[in-house]
Amino acid sequence: MILHVVNQAPDAGRTLEQVLSAMADDDCLLLIEDGVVGAMPTLAALFTALEGRRYVLREDLESRGLLGRQPEGFAIVDIDGFVNLTEEAAKTVSWY
């Protein structure tokens, strides 16, 4: 499993689209920083293919007042969870 970490909002450019196009079927996605905007309910359709493999960082949701607005299927992880994910992953690829 490769962990793909994205720190860009869906509207900021094509970063998110590019990550999604380069992910293997067992890879996971973690949204951090501005990337957490992607975990709003109205944008859930972007991630339907990633059921069970999508994560969003709690601290960055909290600072933006977005915590609690996540659609089902997004696992919310804190920094420790982030670290655990990177340990489980064969490698981490950052997209920014």
Residue ranges binding other proteins (CB under 8 A): 2, 14-15, 18, 21-25, 27, 91, 93-96
Task: Tell the smallest beta-carbon distance from residue 74 to other proteins (Å).
Answer: 22
Write down the residue that tokens 């992607």 correspond to.
Answer: 38
d(CA 49, CA 33): 22
Q: Which is nearer to other proteins, 88 or 96 (CB)?
A: 96
Do 36 and 10 form a contact (C-beta atoms < 8 A)? no
Task: Tell the smallest beta-carbon distance from residue 49 to other proteins (Å).
Answer: 11
Tell which residue, 24, 86, 83, has the closest CA to residue 50. 24
Q: Which is nearer to other proteins, 1 or 79 (CB)?
A: 1
Task: Tell the smallest beta-carbon distance from residue 7 to other proteins (Å).
Answer: 11
Tokens encoding 63: 């600072």
